[in-house]
Amino acid sequence: MQKYVINTKKQKAQIDRNIYGHFSEHLGRCIYEGLYVGEDSDVPNVDGMRTDVVEALKAMGLPLLRWPGGCFADEYHWKDGIGPKENRKKMINTHWGGVVEDNSFGTHEFMRLCQLLECEPYINGNVGSGTVQEMSEWVEYMTFDGLSPMAKLREENGQKDAWKVKYFGVGNENWGCGGNMRPEYYADLYRRYQTYTRNYGDNRLFKIAGGPNVDDYNWTKVLMEIAGPYMDGLSLHFYTFVNSWEDKGSATQMTEKDYYRVLKNTWRMEELVTKHSHIMDKYDPQKRVALVVDEWGTWYEVEPGTNPGFLYQQNSMRDALVAGINLNIFNKHADRVRMANIAQLVNVLQSVILTEGEKMIKTPTYHVFDMYQEHQDNQLVESYITTPDLDVDGVKVPAMTESASVNGDGHLVLTLCNLDLHEERRIDADTLGFNPKKVTGHIITGAMDAYNTFEEPELVKKEAFDQVELKESGFTMTLPTCSVVRLILE
Ligand code: AHR
């Protein structure tokens, strides 16, 4: 029997809903086909946005969407994506498959998508190949309400009212595809570019600096030292491979060892968030600057027969556990991690949705986001579970992870993962300061390599879960093998 203690009296921080954010890039079939099919498509749409996908994403509680990249952002020139579509400049998407980008999805389309999704836009500006003036004018175009050259241009393009844009990224991966810069150089550029991204009217920008790659702690140190006071957020990117960047492994063909390797590699997020936060604490003890994990998730070899530049991969129960582990980590670091964006929303890397023509399926990762949405904006409470470490051929990883929060109605929301493929776990939980009268449970479980297909779209899905017995100030439960569970206690 494992002991689980949840202390509802110890509220630690608010879980920012933006921890449940997503990322959409002009990459493969994410924007085109996945989200946007155009007004004339046979696929049911509103202003070109797929109705089925929009509805599914709203039900999942998507709070925020990052766009237009990624590496694409530092090659994107926003003026190419406005005005009559037939006049829009075509370009080659050199990063992703060398295909023609016709710019038919631009600023107006993205803002319309966010409106339909009822989510916050997070725009990523171009530092790598764009000018200060270009970035400054984009912010003016989107947010200036009054008489100005960019506001006039916006109106000529059909949008009289300024949009509200809060989240703005000043470059992406500037240590790599965003310009191959050194941290000192980027930190100075960041200071310069952000100066001209203005707050117009009552629009207030939340400025996010391009942060470190994985464990580049020096990047975090230098950025905080030189540019800390000028930023509201610092990004962190970390992807999970089966083995390494050079040997990413398959999304669906896996041995048990591969399964545990991916989960162990995922666990590294705990160390990364902790260590980057410690460095940030030195320069920002008040935790004013958010750590924004704006790219995370699994990155495997592409599905056989698909364009290698499109990063299209399947998504299994293993990915559901990757999502569950990461989201529990982010919740537990809610004092510093105030935004995270899984890569990417549709048809690219660890997607929540896959599409094929008119068809759409929800992946196991979708169901994890769906269950975990109950944590959004809740108070994180102190919690601890005694978990053994699994050791499979030298691959060591904790058997369970969890996080706990209290919502506005005083209900307790718990999310637990059992990584173990062979042993279910009996759990004895004490909910200090809380006497549960009712429990509602949901689960996603299956074989480690189970996944949904267009032929069998609901092999892995969220189901009701009732293996919980309430007791005075707590409960006992059985956590099945290879599962992600959400409990709501009232
Ligand atoms: O998500 C795919 C790519 O990964 C992004 O474009 C880039 O920022 C990162 O390297």
pLDDT of residue 480: 98
Residues 6+ apart with CB under 8 A from 433: 7, 8, 9
pLDDT of residue 21: 98
Ligand 1 centre and the CA of 71: distance in Å?
6
Measure the CA–CA gap between 469 and 428, rounded to whole angstroms. 10
pLDDT of residue 276: 98
Ligand 1 centre and the CA of 271: distance in Å?
21
Q: Which of 200, 194, 190 is nearest to 161 (CA)?
A: 200
Ligand 1 centre and the CA of 106: distance in Å?
19
pLDDT of residue 232: 98
Measure the CA–CA gap between 294 and 3, rounded to whole angstroms. 34
| Pocket-testing residue among 30, 293, 295, 347, ligand 1, by greatest number of atoms within 8 A of Cβ | 295
If one counts every other C-beta atom within 10 angstroms of the C-beta of residue 205, the result is 19
Identify the three-state secondary structure at position 328.
Answer: helix
pLDDT of residue 383: 98
pLDDT of residue 435: 97
Phi, psi of 76 (to 5 degrees): -90, 130
Q: Is residue 173 in contact with ligand 1, taking CB distance under 6 Å?
A: yes
Point out the residues that are catalytic: 173, 295
pTM metric for this prediction: 0.97
- Report which protein residue has its CA nearest ligand 1's atom 2: 70
Q: Is residue 341 in contact with ligand 1, taking CB distance under 6 Å?
A: no
Between the alpha carbon of residue 18 and those of residues 61, 257, 375, 385, the distances in Å are 10, 33, 11, 26
- Report which protein residue has its CA nearest ligand 1's atom 6: 70
Q: Is residue 343 in contact with ligand 1, taking CB distance under 6 Å?
A: yes
Name the stretches of the chain with pLDDT < 70: none
Q: Is residue 25 in contact with ligand 1, taking CB distance under 6 Å?
A: yes
Closest atom of ligand 1 to CA, residue 349: 1
Q: Is residue 236 in contact with ligand 1, taking CB distance under 6 Å?
A: no
332-362, pLDDT tens digit by residue? 999 999 999 999 999 999 999 999 999 999 9
239-248, pLDDT tens digit by residue? 999 999 999 9
- Report which protein residue has its CA nearest ligand 1's atom 3: 70
